[in-house]
Amino acid sequence: MKKVSLPPLTANLAAAILGIWKLKSREDVDDTGQIRIDPFLGRDPLGMLCFAPSHFAAQFMKRDRSHQENVAQPVQAKNNTAAVNGYDAYFGTYSIDEIAGTLTTHLEGSISPANVGNIYIRNVRVVDNELIIQLPTTAVDGTAVTRTNTFSRIV
């Protein structure tokens, strides 16, 4: 499995990301090209992402939460939020760098107190009705991975 390459920069990214997006796929790939499964959200999590002109909200959930304990994720990945009980949700403000093709989020609220106040920078592209967000992060064991979240536009 190869690392997913990003498409060319999106013209007027700030306008293109506005709307409501449903998670289509979430894939973590290490430097050898191997897919790594995040045990906290699983192989195929559910997710929604909403962008207004300056505010956003995100929610992700492991499909099967029947065996989760009600505890915070014991290890927080680098450059990423922490889930609680197979669920991750946060909201705040954001800004776009059109030249770099990046989104910078400022978390005002989160299901995990450890996330509040954090700032994250993501590579973002919009192609037709798909939103692609890519970021470097780590697997549970600390291995560097590239996460690619692909969303389909709802509205």
> Is 2 in contact with 31 (CB distance < 8 Å)?
no
The CATH number assigned to the domain holding 79 equals 2.40.128.280
Cα separation, 108 vs 125, whole angstroms: 24
Considering the entire predicted model, what is its pTM?
0.91
* Residue-number span of the structural domain to which 23 is assigned: 13-153
As for how many domains the chain has, the answer is 1
Q: Residues 32-79: pLDDT tens digits?
A: 999 999 888 999 999 999 999 999 999 999 999 887 555 445 556 888
The predicted pLDDT at position 56 comes to: 98
The predicted pLDDT at position 53 comes to: 97
The predicted pLDDT at position 77 comes to: 80
- Whether 120 shows a pLDDT value over 70: the answer reads yes
Within a domain: residue 141? Answer: yes
The predicted pLDDT at position 15 comes to: 98
C-alpha distance from residue 5 to each of 8, 48, 111, 129, 130 (Å): 9, 23, 31, 18, 15
Within a domain: residue 8? Answer: no
